[in-house]
Amino acid sequence: MAGVSGCLKYSMFIFNFLFWLSGLLILGVAIWVRVNQGNQEIFGHEDSHAQFRVSANIMISVGAIIMILGFLGCCGAIKESRCMLILFFIGLLLILLLQVAAGIIGVVFKPEYKRILNETLHEEAKLLNETNDAAVKFQKAIAEFEEEFKCCGLINGAADWGNNFEKYYKSCECPIMSNLSCTTYEGKSVYKQTCVSLIKDYFGKYIIIVIGIAFGLAFIEVLGMIFSMVLFCQIGEK
């Protein structure tokens, strides 16, 4: 009877080790996103916080599951365990189906996500003119964003800062000799570009990255399923 291909066996092990590392990477990034104060301060609204936490928690779960599956695949390949390999196959299949479902939901509800983001940013623009502790944290986060991305205010430019403009105008200050589009507000030269579109672009880029990772994982998952089934069949023929 045919034996198990050593090349396939160790290829499966290496593949699953890399798969395990990808799960570790996703888990690490998700935890960082979950605890990163900058993201939480920009989305200071409680509902936005909840949505942000849910997304991060889902990523943490996915990373942990991928690590478990990678471990099962590695052990199944080395120990030539059909049980582990079939569990690995089923796990990958379920994740793949969930990814497809999530992708479909994402496409269908994309306009809704944009609406929620737009409403959230319009609501949080009001915080720039407030003085409570939560507002101050948000203001500092936006001020840092303004300095980095050369913009001013969220929706209505420098006017969003209201009575706090004098305190934070330095983050909006537009060098007169710069090539950037400047405008004048209360005698100060500030960036004409508002931050709302830049924030949308900022998160839009991350969504594209997430989609790219999802497609990459889907390809890897299909390969893993093929590897596991071939190895599963070879073990059965021993």
Give the closest residue to 161 by CA, choosing from 131, 199, 182: 131
Identity of the residue numbered 25: L
The predicted structure's pLDDT at residue 174: 87
Is this prediction's pTM over 0.85?
A: no
Say yes or no to pLDDT of 74 above 80.
yes
The predicted structure's pLDDT at residue 25: 83
Say yes or no to pLDDT of 169 above 90.
no
Distance CA 124, CA 116 (A): 12
Q: What percent of the chain has pLDDT over 90?
A: 2
> Mean pLDDT lowest for which of 41-45, 81-85, 116-120, 161-165?
41-45
State phi, psi for 142 to the nearest 5 degrees.
-70, -40
Is the model more confident about 175 or about 39? 175
Distance CA 184, CA 226 (A): 63
Report pLDDT digits (tens) over 104-116: 776 777 777 778 7
Taking all residues of the chain, what is their mean pLDDT, rounded to a whole number? Answer: 79
The predicted structure's pLDDT at residue 1: 41
The predicted structure's pLDDT at residue 230: 84
**Can you count the helices (H) and strands (E) in the chain?**
8, 2
